């Protein structure tokens, strides 16, 4: 345990910001021991949640261990495919006329199947057809395996780089890939970063017969990345309840760092108002109402000039980022879970 504590404290320096005062070393050490005993050794979460900062209180912080126990007992496994399978989610929400980023078809091995007119073409002939889309494994997560595909005029480009049929075929042998239309994001979002769609991650909770948005954060692409996922080295920025960006964005990987402006575009984050934010909140609350068997859902939302488009919805792995940016919600979360369990007649573990 001592070795783990020492290693964690050393690693935790990346969560410190000079302008924000921290607790004393001995206070942090004492609280780390308590956190360790309570949460089965997930020490780095203590720093990620900002509990080392003065005036912070870990009493109302929901740790992953408790979150998983509650979440897994309420979000029943036999419904998860509706969210986890991008093909199934698209077909379900398209049928209800919600503004989802449409899938134009899917690819399996050597064949592309399009939904319009139920036509299919071999991958070998794809360079003869003009297509612009994102290819995503139908049950992939975290941006892993996602690539941008542009074809036509005898060319194939993968992630904006000239490629060939062989490379594309190798990528498509890894399973079924949905083909999702490329979203034209709002000019204000393009100003922050134009290499990827910079999406809102919003969370909604179902308390039994009401649906409410808990808030979220903005994900912003970096460099030449065509995706904005946090685990792929991109940025996350806290947002206020009325959709205004906070003073700094956080980069979790490959090295933890804070940025007051975008490292490439130089656009400052503080005070930037997100277009159509209230519409996004209203939309995800309404859409959760069409999925009443889920207690908690995470939504990826693109902001366009016309409004919003839902990129996908996801089962929620944890609420660490949300709490790090907005504060602890343990007491409220436990009450929401009780209300949902009672209303649905589900035993709460």
Burial of 136 (0-12, 13-18, 19+ CB in 10 A): buried
- Cα(313)–Cα(101) distance, integer angstroms: 11
pLDDT at 12: 58
Closest CA to 247 of 219, 269, 266, 217: 269
Q: Is the pLDDT of residue 8 over 70?
A: no
pLDDT tens digits along 294-307: 999 999 999 999 99
pLDDT at 117: 76
CATH code: domain 73-99+186-344 is: 3.30.470.20
Whole-number Cα distances in Å, 14 to 73, 258, 328: 34, 9, 21
Mean pLDDT of 25-50: 82
Contact of 211 with 294, CB cutoff 8 Å: no
pLDDT tens digits along 44-99: 788 888 888 888 888 899 988 899 999 999 988 888 889 999 999 999 998 899 99
More confident residue, 229 or 306: 306
Residue 311 structure tokens = 């990129």
Domain spans, the chain:
2-61, 73-99+186-344, 103-181
Q: Is the pLDDT of residue 210 over 70?
A: yes
Phi-psi region of 216 (alpha: psi -120 to 50; beta: other; left: phi over 0): left
Q: What is the pTM of this model?
A: 0.91
* DSSP line for 254-304: SS-EEESB-TTT--B-TTPBPTTHHHHHHHHHHHHTT-TT-SEEEEEEEEB
pLDDT at 56: 84
Q: Is the pLDDT of residue 6 over 60?
A: no
pLDDT tens digits along 211-225: 999 999 999 999 888
pLDDT at 112: 92
The mean predicted confidence, pLDDT, of the chain is 89
Residue 183 structure tokens = 């979203």
More confident residue, 43 or 268: 268
* pLDDT classification of 18: cutoffs 50, 70, 90: low
pLDDT at 133: 93
Q: Is the pLDDT of residue 252 over 60?
A: yes
* pLDDT classification of 41: cutoffs 50, 70, 90: low
Burial of 13 (0-12, 13-18, 19+ CB in 10 A): exposed
pLDDT tens digits along 134-159: 999 998 887 778 999 999 989 999 99
């Amino acid at each position: 345990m001592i070795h783990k504590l020492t290693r964690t404290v050393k690693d935790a320096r990346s969560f410190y910001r000079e302008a924000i005062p921290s607790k004393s070393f001995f206070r942090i050490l004492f609280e780390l021991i308590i956190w360790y005993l309570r949460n089965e050794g997930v020490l780095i979460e203590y720093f990620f949640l900002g509990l080392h900062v003065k005036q912070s209180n870990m009493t109302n912080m929901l740790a992953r261990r408790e979150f998983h126990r509650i979440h897994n007992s309420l979000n029943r496994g036999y419904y998860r495919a509706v969210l986890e399978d991008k093909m199934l989610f698209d077909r379900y929400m398209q049928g209800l006329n919600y503004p989802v980023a449409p899938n134009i078809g899917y690819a399996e091995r050597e064949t592309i199947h399009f939904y319009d007119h139920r036509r299919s073409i071999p991958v070998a002939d794809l360079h003869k057809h003009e297509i612009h889309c994102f290819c995503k494994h139908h049950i992939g997560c975290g941006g892993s395996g996602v690539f941008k595909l542009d074809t036509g005029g005898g060319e194939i480009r993968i992630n904006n780089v000239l490629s060939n049929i062989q490379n594309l075929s190798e990528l498509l042998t890894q399973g079924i890939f949905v083909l999702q239309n490329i979203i034209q994001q709002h000019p204000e979002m393009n100003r922050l970063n134009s290499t990827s769609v910079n999406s809102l991650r919003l969370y909604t909770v179902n308390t039994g017969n009401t649906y409410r948005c808990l808030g979220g954060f903005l994900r912003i692409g970096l460099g030449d990345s065509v995706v904005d996922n946090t685990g792929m080295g991109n940025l996350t920025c806290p947002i206020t309840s009325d959709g205004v960006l906070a003073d700094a964005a956080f980069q979790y990987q490959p090295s933890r760092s804070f940025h007051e402006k975008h490292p490439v575009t130089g656009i400052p984050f503080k005070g930037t108002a997100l277009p159509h934010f209230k519409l996004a909140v209203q939309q995800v609350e309404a859409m959760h109402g069409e999925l009443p068997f889920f207690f908690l859902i995470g939504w990826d939302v693109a902001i366009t000039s016309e409004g919003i488009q839902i990129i996908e919805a996801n089962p929620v792995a944890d609420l660490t980022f949300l709490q790090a940016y907005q504060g602890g919600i343990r007491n409220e979360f436990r009450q929401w879970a009780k209300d949902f369990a009672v209303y649905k007649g589900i035993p709460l573990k």
